[in-house]
């Protein structure tokens, strides 16, 4: 798939965001926010090089969202400006394709606008409505208050406080486990999900 083709593959739409494949044109912005200490603080990486970005793009370009055993990273682009505001990832487990995990990142300048909850809700909708998943989890650093607030906002339940569960940036770190079941998601009204259902559009390349 060429870069131009990739840019036209919009998997999911929300009111303000297009969730699509990453393209080479996104790499400067991706490298920029992944190297921002405010963004990297609770993430697995400390820095993100141009070579790592190229490897990321190459690996993602051959993936289809929802493929068991893989993480698909949706690039989140502002509908109005076309700017890359962040990304939202969905992992479908290889050992049980009815279970998934989400991850999410916004550039620092794009935080505090509700974009994070908007993209996570849309990807949860995709996971349950389109892929038919049974359960989706998210694991956050227990000190990452913004992430915990976002997950609570979209209706995910804090199921666990995992004490010193991970060796993280030179010390043992606590993590929170959040989860939502398909039946809970289906039972939530638009208010529970924090807003009206999003429209979606899916075009395969
Ligand atoms: C986690 C992260 C995505 C949360 O971003 P966020 O912008 O705080 O989250 P939301 O998108 O839910 O936005 C909510 C905020 O936008 C505000 N907001 C402004 N306009 C809004 C709108 N139109 N709609 C909804 N909320 C809006 C809300 O009031 C809220 O502000 P508050 O936190 O001061 O109460 C962000 O902190 C981040 O990218 N961190 C670095 C990466 C990271 O740690 N990821 C988590 C890994 S598990």
Tens digit of pLDDT for each residue in 153-180?
999 999 999 999 999 999 999 999 999 9
Give the confidence band of 191 by pLDDT, cuts at 50, 70, 90: low
Atom of ligand 1 at shortest range from CA of 42: 44
pLDDT number for residue 66: 95
Atom of ligand 1 at shortest range from CA of 154: 12
117 in ligand 1 pocket by Cβ < 6 Å? yes
Give the whole-angstrom CA distance, residue 133 versus residue 111. 28
Residue 110's contacts (CB-CB under 8 Å, 6 or more residues apart) are: 78, 85, 86
Lowest average pLDDT, out of 114-118, 160-164, 190-194, goes to: 190-194
* Lookup result for tokens 């060429």: 2
pLDDT number for residue 3: 59
pLDDT number for residue 204: 35
Q: Which two tokens stand for residue 156?
A: 């995910």
Question: Whole-model pTM?
Answer: 0.92
Taking the centre of ligand 1 as the mean of its atom positions, its distance from the CA of residue 87, in whole angstroms, is 13
147 in ligand 1 pocket by Cβ < 6 Å? yes
Give the confidence band of 202 by pLDDT, cuts at 50, 70, 90: very low
Give the confidence band of 201 by pLDDT, cuts at 50, 70, 90: very low
128, burial (CB in 10 Å: exposed 0-12, middle 13-18, buried 19+):
buried
Give the confidence band of 11 by pLDDT, cuts at 50, 70, 90: confident
Taking the centre of ligand 1 as the mean of its atom positions, its distance from the CA of residue 85, in whole angstroms, is 12
Q: What CATH code would you report for 9-187?
A: 3.40.630.30
**pLDDT tens digit sequence for 128-162:** 999 999 999 999 999 999 999 999 999 999 999 99
**pLDDT tens digit sequence for 85-102:** 999 999 999 999 999 999
Q: Is the pLDDT at 196 greater than 80, yes or no?
A: no
Domain ranges of the chain: 9-187
Taking the centre of ligand 1 as the mean of its atom positions, its distance from the CA of residue 34, in whole angstroms, is 17
Mutate to test the pocket of ligand 1, among 147, 153, 166 (most ligand atoms within 8 A of CB): 147
Q: Is the pLDDT at 70 greater than 50, yes or no?
A: yes
**pLDDT tens digit sequence for 17-54:** 999 999 999 999 999 999 999 999 999 898 999 999 99
Buried b (16+ CB within 10 A) or exposed e, 34-52: beeeebbebbeeeebeeee
9, burial (CB in 10 Å: exposed 0-12, middle 13-18, buried 19+):
middle
């Amino acid at each position: 798939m060429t870069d131009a083709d990739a840019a036209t593959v919009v998997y999911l739409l929300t009111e303000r965001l297009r969730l699509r494949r990453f393209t080479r044109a996104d790499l400067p912005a991706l490298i920029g926010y992944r190297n921002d200490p405010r963004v990297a603080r609770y993430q697995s990486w400390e820095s993100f090089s141009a070579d790592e970005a190229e490897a990321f793009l190459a690996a993602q370009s051959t993936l289809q969202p929802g493929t068991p055993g893989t993480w698909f990273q949706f690039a989140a682009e502002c509908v109005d400006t076309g700017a890359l505001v962040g990304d939202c990832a969905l992992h479908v487990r290889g050992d049980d394709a009815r279970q998934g995990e989400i991850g999410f990142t916004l550039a620092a300048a794009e935080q505090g606008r509700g974009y994070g909850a908007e993209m996570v809700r849309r990807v949860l909708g995709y996971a349950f409505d389109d892929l038919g998943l049974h359960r989706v989890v998210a694991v956050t650093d227990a000190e990452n208050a913004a992430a915990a607030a976002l997950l609570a906002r979209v209706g995910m339940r804090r199921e666990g406080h995992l004490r010193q569960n991970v060796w993280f940036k030179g010390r043992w770190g606590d993590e929170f486990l959040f989860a939502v079941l398909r039946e809970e998601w289906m039972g939530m009204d638009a208010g529970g999900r924090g807003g009206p259902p999003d429209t979606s559009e899916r075009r395969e390349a």
